[in-house]
Structure 1
Amino acid sequence: MRQTLIGQSSGFVAVLDKVSKLAPINRPVLIVGDRGTGKELIAQRLHYLSKRWDKPLISLNCAALSEGVVDSELFGHEIGSFSGATKKHQGRFERAESGTLFLDELATTPLSVQEKLLRVIEYGEYERVGGQRILRSDVRLICATNADLPQLAAQGTFRSDLLDRLAFDVILLPNLQQRVEDIPLLAEHFALKMCQELGLPLFAGFSAQCQELLLNYPWPGNVRELKNVVERAIYLNPDPNAPIKALIFNPFQPSFLEHGSQSNENKNKDIEKQRLSVPLDYKKWVHEQDIILLNQALNHAQHNQKKAAGLLGLSYHQFRGMLRKYKMV
C-alpha cells in the first residue's frame, strides 16, 4: 500500500515539484537523504508518475545482503552456479522488466556489482551469475543513499563512472530540522492514523508542552522517528479523550529516568509538593527514596547490577556499596 507524502514547507514542495518533472523522463535518478527522510516514498512517486506506472516496481536494500547474495538477487543465477543453487533464480532486474527497480543503500554495493550496474545502464544488458547468455533489460533504475558518493568516488570505494551515469539528476531530500513547519502536520497525520488503528473515536491533540517538544527535538531519525514517537504517545495515553501530555523519545530509557516529556512547571510543582510535606524525618525520607530508586533500577535491569548501576549513573562498586548500606544483598 502506497504511503502519503505530507508537507508544505518550501524545501519539501520544491522536491515534489522536481519529482513531478523527473518522473516522465526515462533516465536513472539518484535520491540522497538522511535516514528516515522518505527516500523510498520518493522512489514510489517517481514510478507512479512515470509512463511505467502500470508495470512492476521492485525494491532491494543493498545493505541487507552480502556481496555474493546481492549479485544473485540483482541479476539472478543459473543452476549449479554456486553451492546450493539447485534451481534457476530470477533476479530483480528480470522481475522489474519494463518497470522500475529501486536500489536503497547504494553505497554499500561492492565494486564488482557496481561494474555490472554500469553495464546495464550503458548497454541495457547483463548475465545471470554462472550464466553465459546475455539478457536484455528495459528497467528504469532509481537509487538512494545517505552517503556522500562524490567523496566515496574520490576515495576509490565507489565507481566515478557509475556515479556519472546515475547523476542525470539528483533529488536532495531535506531532513526534518530543515522542514520544521511540517512537523505539526506530520504529527497530527500519524496520530489520526494510530487512533483509527486502535479504534479510538477521536484525537484530542497535543498539549502545548508536547507541541513545543516536537518542534524543538533534533529528530536524528527524521520522519520515521517522529512517527514512532507519536504512535507510542497515542497508545500510552491514559485518557484517550485528553490531549497528549507525555512523549517518550528514547524507548530504551527507563520511564523513571525519562525527563524529556516533563516540563519545568511540572517539576516545580513536584518540588512544591515535597516542600509542603515538612516537617519530616529527613534521614528516614532519604533512606526510603534510595531503596525505592534502587529497586526500580534493578527491576528495569532485570536484576543485572551492572546495568542497574549504569541506569543511575553510578559505578558498579558504588551501586554495590548502596545495596550493602541498605542491606539489600
Structure 2
Amino acid sequence: MMNHVNDGIGESTQFLDFQQCISRAAKIDRPVLFIGERGSGKELAASRLHYLSNRWDKPFITLNCAALNPNLIETELFGHTQGAYTGAGTKRKGRFEEANEGTLFLDEIGLLPMEVQSKILRVVEYGVFEMVGSSTPIKTNVRIIGATNANLKEMARNGKFKADLLDRLSFEVLFLPPLRERKKDIMLLASHFASRIANELELEGVIEFSDNVIKQIHDYKWPGNIRELKNVIERAVYTSETNFIKSIKLDPFENPYITEEPTYLDNRDIVLKNFKDDIRQMEIDYLLEALKKSENRQKEAAELLNITYDQFRGLYRKYKNEIR
C-alpha cells in the first residue's frame, strides 16, 4: 500500500494542494472524476485515492477505455456468459465483478460508448448489472473513479456523454496541475528519474545536470507532462558517457539526416525593416524566372507560378519597366 501512497513527488503549492484534495475525497465513498492532460499522472492519483480510502485492502481494478475496441468495452466491464457471442467459449467475469467491494478506475472515460454508459448508470444508481448474454442481475458494490482530458460537460451538451451519468460521477471533480505549473517540482522529478535509471543501468555516483540543461528543463513547456519528462531524463542518462548530463534531446523524432530546405530569406542578406522593398524584388525575381523558363510565353509563365493569366498580367504591368 505505501508504495502507491508515497509514489508522488513534489513540494510545489500546486502539488501539495492537489494531494490534500485527494486525501479529503478519499474519505467520502463517492465517485470522483480526475481531469488532466496526458502524462499528468491520472492513474497514479486514482491509485493514491483508493489506497487512502476505506477500500484500501480491496481490489483496485483499472480499465483504459482508449485501449479497447468500443465493441469490447461492454464485455470487459460486465463480463459474458458462455456462448454469449461467437468465440465466447467460457464464462468470464467483468471488471465490475472483479472490483466488488473495491474501486474501479475508468481511464479515458469520455470514450465510453453511449449504450455502455447506460449500463454504468444503472450500476451507480442500483448497484446491479447483467453479464452480456444474461438477464440475471448481479449485485456489486464498487466505487467508480473516472479520468479524462475531454470536456465532459460539453460532450453532454452535444449528446456524446449521458448527462445523468455525468451528474452522478461528478460528486467531486479534481483537476491535475500540469507540470509547467509545477516549476518547483520539475528538477525534483528529473533527479528522481535520473537516479532510478542510473540504478537500473548499475551506474555509480550521483547524476548531475549542467546549468544549460537545467535551464532547458525549466524553460520547456512539457506538453506530455511527467511522462515526457521521465522519457527525456532517462534517455539523457543512458546516452551520456558520464554522470554529468551536458545535453538532452527533447524531440526523439528529430531526424539528423533531414536538412531543412533553404528559404527565400536564407539566400539573401535580408534587413527586416526593408520588408516592402524585399517583397517587390521577390515578385520581380519570380516573374523574370518564370518568363525565362517559358521563353517569354506569358500564359505558360502564369502556369509555372500557379496563378491566373490575369494575375500574371497585373504583375507584369506593375513591374514592366524592371522586367524589360
* TM value normalised by structure 2: 0.78
Give the 3-state SS of the residue equivalent to 1:101 in structure 2: strand
Give the 3-state SS of the residue equivalent to 1:210 in structure 2: helix
Map of 2:22 onto structure 1: 19
Map of 2:240 onto structure 1: 237
- TM-superposed deviation, 1:203: 2.1
Q: Is the 8 A contact 2:194 2:207 kept in 1?
A: no
Q: Quick check: 1:210 aligned with 2:213?
A: yes
Question: Partners in 1 of 2:169 and 2:12 — Cα distance?
Answer: 27
Any gaps of 5 or more consecutive residues in structure 1?
A: 257-296, 298-310, 316-329
- TM-superposed deviation, 1:179: 1.0
Q: Is the 8 A contact 2:114 2:162 kept in 1?
A: yes
**One-letter identity of the residue aligned with 1:248:** K
Question: Partners in 2 of 1:68 and 1:8 — Cα distance?
Answer: 43
User: 1:57-72, aligned counterparts within 5 Å?
Assistant: 57-72=60-75
Question: Partners in 1 of 2:8 and 2:156 — Cα distance?
Answer: 31
- TM-superposed deviation, 1:159: 0.7
Map of 1:219 onto structure 2: 222
Question: Partners in 2 of 1:46 and 1:107 — Cα distance?
Answer: 20
Give the 3-state SS of the residue equivalent to 2:237 in structure 1: helix
Question: Partners in 2 of 1:178 and 1:152 — Cα distance?
Answer: 26
Tell me which structure has the larger Cα radius of gyration: 2
Map of 1:312 onto structure 2: 259
**One-letter identity of the residue aligned with 1:249:** L
Any gaps of 5 or more consecutive residues in structure 2?
A: 263-324
Q: How many residues are matched?
A: 259
Question: Partners in 2 of 1:214 and 1:200 — Cα distance?
Answer: 22
- Going from structure 1 to structure 2, the CA distance change for 1:204 and 1:85 (only over 3 Å counts) comes to closer
User: 1:44-63, aligned counterparts within 5 Å?
Assistant: 44-63=47-66
Could you give the per-residue CA deviations for residues 215-237 of structure 1, whole angstroms, max 9, x where no partner exists? 00111100000000000000011
- Identity percentage of aligned residues: 49
**One-letter identity of the residue aligned with 1:116:** K
Moved more, 174-183 or 205-214: 174-183
Structure 2 residue corresponding to 1:163, chosen from 145, 150, 166:
166
- TM-superposed deviation, 1:66: 1.8
Q: Quick check: 1:135 aligned with 2:138?
A: yes
**One-letter identity of the residue aligned with 2:197:** M
Question: Partners in 2 of 1:67 and 1:217 — Cα distance?
Answer: 36
- TM-superposed deviation, 1:52: 0.8
Q: Tell me the C-alpha RMSD between the 2 structures.
A: 1.2
Question: Partners in 2 of 1:69 and 1:181 — Cα distance?
Answer: 42
**One-letter identity of the residue aligned with 2:215:** E
Question: Partners in 2 of 1:9 and 1:212 — Cα distance?
Answer: 18
Question: Partners in 2 of 1:190 and 1:33 — Cα distance?
Answer: 21
Question: Partners in 2 of 1:94 and 1:177 — Cα distance?
Answer: 39
Question: Partners in 2 of 1:126 and 1:66 — Cα distance?
Answer: 21
Question: Partners in 1 of 2:71 and 2:64 — Cα distance?
Answer: 14
* TM value normalised by structure 1: 0.77
Map of 1:306 onto structure 2: none
Give the 3-state SS of the residue equivalent to 2:238 in structure 1: helix
User: 1:154-303, aligned counterparts within 5 Å?
Assistant: 154-240=157-243, 243-254=244-255, 256=256, 297=257
- TM-superposed deviation, 1:64: 1.1
Structure 2 residue corresponding to 1:4, chosen from 3, 7, 14:
7
Structure 1 residue corresponding to 2:39, chosen from 36, 39, 44:
36
Moved more, 59-68 or 183-192: 59-68
Map of 2:119 onto structure 1: 116
Could you give the per-residue CA deviations for residues 15-67 of structure 1, whole angstroms, max 9, x where no partner exists? 10011011121101100000000000000001100111111101000111122
Question: Partners in 2 of 1:85 and 1:314 — Cα distance?
Answer: 56
- TM-superposed deviation, 1:314: 3.6
